[in-house]
Amino acid sequence: MEKKHSAGKNLEWREDENREVFRGRIFSVRESLCRSPDNKTGTYTVIHAPDWVIVAPLLKTPAGEKLVMVRQWRHGSRELSLEFPGGVLEAGEDAAQAAARELREETAYRPGKLQKIGEFNPNPAIMANRVHFFMAEDLEHTGKQELDADEYIEVELVSPGEVFRGLGRPPYVHALMGAAFALYLQKTAGNILDG
């Protein structure tokens, strides 16, 4: 039986107050004083950041369907990562606009069709933002990437099978890319699971 969103209402905590303890260029950290369902209090650290988008772009080629991916250096893991294009929503931008912009800037492909395939919280224990996932099809090459001054990105066309087999091992180390691929499979693989 599928659970309803109202299940667990008796488990919800209430925030009494919060204060910012750190502000950086990409995120801020707040301490949140919360009250449990049985009225106990505790202080919890929460990271606040803008929402992100990740796009799974599907390109039809003479060699079959390929996913348009980007290879770039990741400072947190100190290694190269091969992943779907994506980035942060800019002020006033909705998720679909950000997805189309990030795809165009990082890969030089413009989507003819862009469809939202899911949304996650990257780590609900400590993060307050959302990641919006899209699938892009009917791609048109614009001829030139529009990278930020500190972006160094190589575009690669990879078969869905190769991505599937590589998940969880370098260079497929970005966990949210794995979530994006799972949503891509959910959308494209049909009814692969019964029940």
CATH number of domain containing 58 = 3.90.79.10
- Do 72 and 110 fall into the same domain? yes
State yes or no: pLDDT of 64 exceeds 80: yes
Return the structure tokens found at 188: 């494209």
State yes or no: pLDDT of 1 exceeds 60: no
Rg (CA), the chain: 19
Report if residue 167 sits inside a domain: yes
Report if residue 183 sits inside a domain: yes
Report if residue 2 sits inside a domain: no
Confidence of residue 7 (pLDDT cuts 50, 70, 90): confident
- Do 44 and 58 fall into the same domain? no
High-pLDDT (> 90) share of the chain, %:
89
Report if residue 194 sits inside a domain: no
- Do 62 and 44 fall into the same domain? no
Query: Which residues span the domain enclosing 29?
Result: 9-48
Report if residue 75 sits inside a domain: yes
Q: 156-194 pLDDT, tens per residue?
A: 999 999 999 999 999 999 999 999 999 999 999 865 554
Return the structure tokens found at 140: 């048109």
In this prediction, residues 49-58 reach a mean pLDDT of 97
Whether residue 67 contacts residue 82, with contact meaning beta carbons closer than 8 Å, is answered with: no
- Do 77 and 18 fall into the same domain? no
pLDDT confidence of residue 189? 81
Q: 77-125 pLDDT, tens per residue?
A: 999 999 999 999 999 999 999 999 999 999 999 999 999 999 999 999 9
- Do 65 and 14 fall into the same domain? no
Longest dimension (CA), the chain: 63
First to last CA, the chain: 10
pLDDT confidence of residue 52? 96
| Mean model confidence pLDDT for the chain | 93
- Do 24 and 112 fall into the same domain? no
- Do 86 and 146 fall into the same domain? yes
- Do 36 and 88 fall into the same domain? no
pLDDT confidence of residue 8? 81
- Do 15 and 72 fall into the same domain? no
- Do 17 and 94 fall into the same domain? no
- Do 116 and 161 fall into the same domain? yes
Structural domains in the chain (count) = 2
pLDDT confidence of residue 191? 53
- Do 166 and 82 fall into the same domain? yes
What's the predicted TM-score (pTM) here? 0.90
Report if residue 130 sits inside a domain: yes
Q: If we measure between CA atoms, which residue out of 18, 4, 130, 26 comes closest to residue 75?
A: 26
Report if residue 21 sits inside a domain: yes
Report if residue 193 sits inside a domain: no
